[in-house]
Structure 1
Amino acid sequence: MTAPVVVVVGLVHLRGGRLLVARSARKKAFYLPGGKLEPGETGERALHREVAEELGVGLVPGSVREFRHYLAPAYGEGDGVLVDMTCFTGDLDGEPRPSGEIAELALVTEAEYAAHAETAPAIHEVLRDLAEAGLLAV
């Protein structure tokens, strides 16, 4: 039997060596701004839509680049469910603010994220990769 998979996109956006993460009003863990693809939607198109909905800003045209792909246990989706997350980098065209379903934004290092009471496994993988690349503050 194959594990259920949730296909999503996420924005990897760094400021001052910290990763921008968002917390939904319905969840306790922070995750990357982004979300599920709608039927027929490309990953990049979904990213543009989700960033506008969640952060209240757009992505600078031509700045979006695929970063990495992750497959990990899905936070908050039940036992055995996996998240298939394609991450992109991109420049924001304004100052992000919590919008729509987002209750809170934060900028975190790997250690700061790990200190949260609830965390998403895929975000730990993203942070580890960013730390290994020397892109995060310590």
Structure 2
Amino acid sequence: MHDATSSTPERLIRAAGLVRFVDRRLLLVRADYQTAFYLPGGKIDPGETEVQALHREVREELGVDLVGAEFLGRYVADAVGQGDGVQVELSCYTGELEGVPEPAAEIAELAWLTREEYLAHRVTAPAIVALFADLDGDFHGNRPAGLH
């Protein structure tokens, strides 16, 4: 587990996210109620597994089905826009998309961003910043530090 913060959270949100990293660009989405971009995916509902939540969220947010889901890593970081003391435990999975993703449901925007482009945004999600650092480490031939 990659812990992007050191404090104990007052509240922890469990979420699953899809990592599509192609040509040093990560598929990210922005909800209509958020400023920051984050991974397609979302909160895990009671009774759902991480993989079930991921498949449901990808279908809802991107309008396409996810084929397969391979665990990549887990990040714990401050949750953007959720208030002080709230953290997210983001379980990251890779998988293929069946079709062309388009913004759906509450998703206002979809983008393929490099690490540099993401960091240039006014608001970023700490878990995504940590994920980018690990993906760029992997891209340069090193084993990502925070991916298990």
TM-score normalised over the length of structure 2: 0.87
Please point out which of 28, 36, 43 is paired with 1:36.
43
Q: Equivalent residues in 2 for 1:1-138 (5 A)?
A: 3-60=10-67, 63-134=68-139
Structure 1 residues 2, 105: closer, same or farther in 2, change over 3 A? closer
Identity among equivalent positions (%) equals: 50
- Separation in 2, partners of 1:24, 1:14: 20
What code does the residue aligned with 1:98 have?
A: P
- Separation in 1, partners of 2:131, 2:63: 23
- Separation in 2, partners of 1:119, 1:66: 23
1:81-112 deviation digits (Å, cap 9, x = unpaired)? 11011000000001000000000000111111
By percentage of residues, which structure has more strand?
A: 2
Structure 1 residues 3, 134: closer, same or farther in 2, change over 3 A? same
> Deviation at 1:2?
5.2
- Separation in 1, partners of 2:29, 2:74: 19
> Deviation at 1:28?
0.7
SS of residue in 2 equivalent to 1:75:
coil
What code does the residue aligned with 1:71 have?
A: V
Detail structure 1 runs of 4+ shifted over 6 Å in the superposition: none
SS of residue in 1 equivalent to 2:132:
helix
SS of residue in 2 equivalent to 1:48:
helix
SS of residue in 2 equivalent to 1:30:
coil
Q: Which sections of structure 1, spanning at least 5 residues, go unmatched? A: none
What code does the residue aligned with 2:18 have?
A: L
What code does the residue aligned with 1:108 have?
A: L
Root-mean-square deviation (CA, aligned residues, Å) is 1.2
Q: Which sections of structure 2, spanning at least 5 residues, go unmatched? A: 1-7, 141-148
What code does the residue aligned with 2:13 have?
A: V
Contact 2:38 2:128 in 1 (8 A): yes
